[in-house]
């Protein structure tokens, strides 16, 4: 690659300029940004599933409407993100194929089950909270189309956060049974939540280059720390506990915690989590069932739709 072009590219990033689709960029930048946006997009559509299963069983009409709208938003986020990734030259069809074949990754957390209503409320509050921490940072990053998508996504996620907080507080201040249900859900979700921000910085493969090129604006550990700082006090405030005896803020203001099980994390992101197969099977079925619609839209002359004169 031309060293002059690379130097100019890096200087632009240093000056805080946005990189746009037609601008020159190193191939590795293109590859990394596609990887990250694509995984993010997949996380949004797969992320719709664990909560989506609760739409029909949400307790009451108001919760049902709110959850329905939230899940619809997540799918909308995926659309925005797929469009942003497409600007770098990978087609949506290829991304979808790579998702359902298991080649592309998506967030580990969505491979865990939501056995109770309370589990879905923990996702709506704390996973959305984690997503906002990560995305608010990266919205100031270098790739224009991704940053613009993130800005809009964050605005919507803020509503999800309010909805999730309300739903969790409702259970946490409810009957003994409701309090027990939300505590158990939180205990189940805490270990995955701790891994949501990615592996510890010292073992993270891509952080260094992504920080250099301002695709990531905070490291995995920085996001994790910020999340703990913002949300652990809120969890404790409503009388819930967290299942980590080592969790505390030390004198330097740094959160200490039990190191997450990175071996389990590795298993889950490589297809062997509790729900990976189920999640991909749903997507595969959606692909197959929707194929005739896409065919009809793309090639009206060969399918069921008669073109208008
Ligand atoms: N899950 O070198 P690093 C949401 C992989 S959106 C699965 O540290 P990087 C909204 C990583 O890909 C949630 N895989 O990676 C919502 C890499 O594998 P590869 C998603 C993970 O990229 C809420 C390997 O490990 N958010 O929740 C994870 O520098 C509620 C090495 O890791 C985004 O995608 C993980 N947690 O940092 C929806 C935001 N962590 O590709 C519904 C954009 C790492 O070499 C309901 N992405 N890996 O095979 C990012 O900010 C970054 O990609 C990180 C990972 C921070 C996720």
The residue count of the chain comes to 309
**Residue 151 belongs to some domain of the structure:** yes
**Residue 16 belongs to some domain of the structure:** yes
Q: Which tokens go with 101?
A: 């074949």
**Residue 60 belongs to some domain of the structure:** yes
The CATH number that applies at residue 266 is 1.20.1260.10
Query: What's the average model confidence in pLDDT over 153-168?
Result: 97
The Cα–Cα gap between 157 and 299 comes to 36
How many domains would you assign to the chain?
1
Q: Which tokens go with 59?
A: 């307790």
Question: What is the complex's ipTM, to 2 decimals?
Answer: 0.99
Estimate the crossing angle of helix 144-172 against helix 176-195, to 10 degrees. Answer: 150
The Cα–Cα gap between 84 and 38 comes to 9
From residue 91, alpha-carbon distances to 24, 57, 101 in Å are 20, 36, 15
N-to-C CA span, the chain: 51
**Residue 194 belongs to some domain of the structure:** no
Helix residue spans in 112-175 (DSSP H): 117-122, 128-138, 144-172
Tell me which residue has its CA closest to atom 55 in ligand 1: 198
Give the confidence band of 57 by pLDDT, cuts at 50, 70, 90: very high
From residue 44, alpha-carbon distances to 73, 125, 186 in Å are 9, 15, 21
Least confident of 62-66, 175-179, 220-224, 287-291: 287-291
Q: Which of 158, 191, 206, 219 to mutate to test the pocket of ligand 1 (most atoms within 8 A of CB)?
A: 206
Q: Say what the pLDDT of residue 297 is.
A: 85
In sequence order, the 6+-apart residues with CB closer than 8 A to the CB of 225 are 254, 255
User: Nearest-CA neighbor of 44 among 87, 114, 99?
Assistant: 99
Other C-beta atoms closer than 10 Å to the C-beta of 213 total: 21
Give the confidence band of 308 by pLDDT, cuts at 50, 70, 90: low
Q: Which tokens go with 103?
A: 């080649």
309 lines ligand 1 (CB under 6 A): no
Parent domain of 173: 3-189+204-284
Q: Say what the pLDDT of residue 268 is.
A: 98
Tell me which residue has its CA closest to atom 42 in ligand 1: 47
**Residue 294 belongs to some domain of the structure:** no
**Residue 116 belongs to some domain of the structure:** yes
Q: Closest ligand 1 atom, CA of 40?
A: 34
Q: Say what the pLDDT of residue 113 is.
A: 98
pTM, full prediction: 0.96
Q: Say what the pLDDT of residue 309 is.
A: 61
120 lines ligand 1 (CB under 6 A): no
Half-sphere exposure of 38 (CA within 13 A, CB side): 24
**Residue 74 belongs to some domain of the structure:** yes
Phi-psi label, residue 105: left if phi above 0, alpha if psi -120 to 50, beta otherwise: beta
User: Nearest-CA neighbor of 139 among 45, 209, 37?
Assistant: 37
pLDDT tens sequence across 74-120: 999 999 999 999 999 999 999 999 999 999 999 999 999 999 999 99
54 lines ligand 1 (CB under 6 A): no
Q: Which long-range contacts (CB under 8 A, 24 or more apart) does 254-263 make?
A: 254/225, 255/224, 255/225, 255/228, 255/229, 257/194, 257/228, 259/200, 260/191, 260/194, 260/195, 261/191, 261/195, 262/195, 262/199, 262/200, 262/203
Tell me which residue has its CA closest to atom 4 in ligand 1: 131
269 lines ligand 1 (CB under 6 A): yes
Q: Closest ligand 1 atom, CA of 197?
A: 56
Measure CA 141 to chain center. 17
Q: Bridge-partner residues for 143, per DSSP?
A: 19
Other C-beta atoms closer than 10 Å to the C-beta of 66 total: 20
3-state secondary structure at position 205: coil
**Residue 292 belongs to some domain of the structure:** no
Measure CA 217 to chain center. 16
């Amino acid at each position: 690659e031309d060293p002059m072009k690379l130097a100019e590219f890096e200087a632009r990033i240093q000056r805080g300029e946005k990189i746009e689709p037609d601008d020159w960029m190193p191939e590795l930048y293109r590859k990394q940004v596609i990887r990250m946006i694509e995984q993010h997009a997949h996380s949004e559509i797969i992320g719709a599933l664990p909560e989506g299963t609760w739409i029909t069983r949400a307790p009451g009409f108001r919760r049902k409407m709110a959850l329905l709208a939230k899940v619809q938003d997540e799918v909308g986020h995926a659309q925005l993100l797929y469009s942003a990734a497409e600007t770098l030259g990978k087609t949506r069809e290829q991304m979808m194929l790579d998702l359902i074949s298991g080649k592309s990754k998506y967030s580990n957390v969505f491979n865990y089950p939501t056995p109770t209503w309370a589990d879905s409320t923990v996702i709506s509050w704390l996973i959305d909270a984690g997503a906002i921490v990560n995305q608010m940072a990266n919205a100031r990053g270098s790739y224009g189309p991704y940053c613009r998508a993130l800005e809009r996504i964050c605005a919507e996620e803020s509503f999800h956060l309010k909805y999730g907080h309300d739903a969790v507080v409702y259970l946490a201040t409810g009957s003994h049974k409701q309090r027990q249900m939300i505590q158990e859900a939180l205990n189940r979700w805490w270990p995955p939540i701790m891994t949501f921000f990615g592996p510890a910085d010292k073992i993270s493969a891509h952080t260094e280059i992504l920080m250099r090129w301002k695709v990531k604006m905070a490291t995995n550990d920085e996001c994790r720390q910020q999340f703990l700082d913002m949300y652990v006090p809120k969890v404790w405030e409503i009388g819930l506990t967290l299942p980590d005896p080592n969790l505390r803020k030390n004198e330097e203001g740094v959160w200490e915690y039990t190191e997450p099980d990175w071996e389990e994390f590795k298993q889950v992101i490589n297809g062997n989590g509790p729900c990976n197969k189920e999640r991909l099977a749903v997507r595969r079925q959606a692909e197959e069932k929707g194929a005739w619609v896409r065919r009809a839209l793309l090639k009206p002359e060969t399918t069921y739709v008669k073109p208008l004169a």
